[in-house]
Amino acid sequence: MSIQKPKGTQDLLPGVVEKWQYIEEKARDICARFNYKEIRSPIFENTELFQRGVGETTDIVEKEMYTFLDKGDRSMSLRPEGTAGVVRAYVENKLYGEPDIAKLYYIGPMFRYEQPQAGRYRQFHQFGIEAFGSTDPSLDAEVIAMGYLFYKELGLQGVRVEINSVGNPSCRSVYREELQKFFAPVKDQLCKDCQSRYDRNPMRILDCKKDQAHGVGAPSILDFLDEECSTHFEKVQRHLTDMGIEYEINPRMVRGLDYYTHTAFEYKCAGIGAIDTISGGGRYNGLVEQIGGDDQPGVGFGLGLERVLLVLEAQAVAIPAGRPLDAYMIGMGEQAEAEVAKLLFRLRAAGLTAEKDYQGRKMKAQMKSADRMQARFVAIIGDEELAQGVIALKNMATGEQVKVTFEEMVTALSDK
């Protein structure tokens, strides 16, 4: 067997790649309207960045990173998510010194060594935004609203917004202890997974899919928020309501990255097998400092593009087709073929999309080819046309055929 693509990766071939371009275009457009600027950071970083940024105890860092030693014995990792690298770039380039807050976005591949399944790949793509430098709840709400609008403008139906507040590190640690106290007496009745969650991350027990009953009567994080955290959370909600964004509060929501503070949110939608979360994000006020910068707050989302595609497909949302072919040129005979090559270049230089045959096929086969490519016109040159200095233009939709001079060709093709 010849070499195959690495497990969990995809070749995006012509026919599909146009969908990606369309989605990326939509992302860039919405970023422009919200005034987010693109940032391109490396696809690999020092491993330590992710250990510190994403969190040593997260599954991502513990078992899902593509880590390797480079030739200088430095430990490098392919980025498993987008935020850490952007934060690093923000700090390294001292963007906090700018007068306005930094509103950045990225689109690109991320890598996690996981077992692939529906909506999950080892190389996947995210469109994400990060806004640094403000704790204003209206910024949290803006980020949430922007993701929502992105899905809406793509034509996705049934996207739900769930929000939660995970508080700050101090209210969270109190809550964590309370949760462990709550579960301690029933620990051995919990499912196997939840027993291991008990120590690692008791909040996940609430999110257990096997047994929703686990969390009945359990304390809610929202009751442990301090003054500042609950005020922030209330203001975020008010802003969302003012913008007309519908949301649900899910006090059981837990995110997979350690860095979140205050607002955490997810977008959910059916259509990708067992997975319903299509993206998520939140505020991360301690992260910039943890990466070695000033104490600058941040908030953002990371949105899975494969999941967007899958839901678009599940909902059969039409995606605009790529650019059609204006003309397919056919030359009969050596001299005519040379003329075709020349005119083809002229058409292309004039901004038209044009194609010819390169396999020496019969005219009939070339016509079929033009039909397959959905060419609007077929331009034919044979001995007769050559002698008259004209070209036969056939409209493939109507079947009409007219003769035009070489000079008239470009305009004839342009305005139809």
User: Shortest gap between Cβ of 122 and RNA (angstroms)?
Assistant: 7
Residues 6+ apart with CB under 8 A from 243: 141, 145
Amino acid at position 353, single letter: T
CA-based end-to-end distance of the chain: 49
Cβ 401 vs Cβ 395: under 8 Å? yes
Question: What are the structure tokens assigned to 247, written together?
Answer: 């949301």
87 versus 378: smaller Cβ distance to RNA: 378
User: Shortest gap between Cβ of 94 and RNA (angstroms)?
Assistant: 27
User: Shortest gap between Cβ of 123 and RNA (angstroms)?
Assistant: 8
95 versus 283: smaller Cβ distance to RNA: 283
Cβ 58 vs Cβ 257: under 8 Å? yes
CA distances from 170 to 79, 161, 162, 166, 367 (A): 29, 26, 23, 10, 72
131 versus 272: smaller Cβ distance to RNA: 272
Rounded distance between C-alpha atoms, residue 374 and residue 174, angstroms: 65
204 versus 348: smaller Cβ distance to RNA: 204
What is the binding site for RNA (CB under 7 A)? Answer: 1, 4-9, 58-60, 64, 81, 112, 114-122, 124, 126, 193, 197, 204, 208-210, 254-257, 273-275, 277-280, 302-304, 306-307, 332, 361-365, 367-372, 378, 380, 382-385, 392, 394, 396-397, 399, 401
User: Shortest gap between Cβ of 71 and RNA (angstroms)?
Assistant: 25
Rounded distance between C-alpha atoms, residue 202 and residue 180, angstroms: 7
CA distances from 370 to 17, 21, 245, 326, 375 (A): 22, 25, 48, 10, 5
3 versus 216: smaller Cβ distance to RNA: 3
User: Shortest gap between Cβ of 228 and RNA (angstroms)?
Assistant: 25
For residue 244, how many C-alpha atoms fall within 13 Å in the half-sphere facing its CB? 1
For residue 372, how many C-alpha atoms fall within 13 Å in the half-sphere facing its CB? 9
Rounded distance between C-alpha atoms, residue 122 and residue 111, angstroms: 5
User: Shortest gap between Cβ of 87 and RNA (angstroms)?
Assistant: 15
103 versus 214: smaller Cβ distance to RNA: 214
Instruction: Report DSSP state, residue 5.
Output: P
308 versus 410: smaller Cβ distance to RNA: 308
CA distances from 80 to 57, 61, 116, 222, 290 (A): 14, 8, 15, 30, 18
Go through 34-50 and write b for each residue having 16 or more CB atoms within 10 A of its CB, e for each that does not.
bebeebebeebbebebb
39 versus 336: smaller Cβ distance to RNA: 336
User: Shortest gap between Cβ of 98 and RNA (angstroms)?
Assistant: 27
User: Shortest gap between Cβ of 118 and RNA (angstroms)?
Assistant: 3
95 versus 203: smaller Cβ distance to RNA: 203
User: Shortest gap between Cβ of 3 and RNA (angstroms)?
Assistant: 10
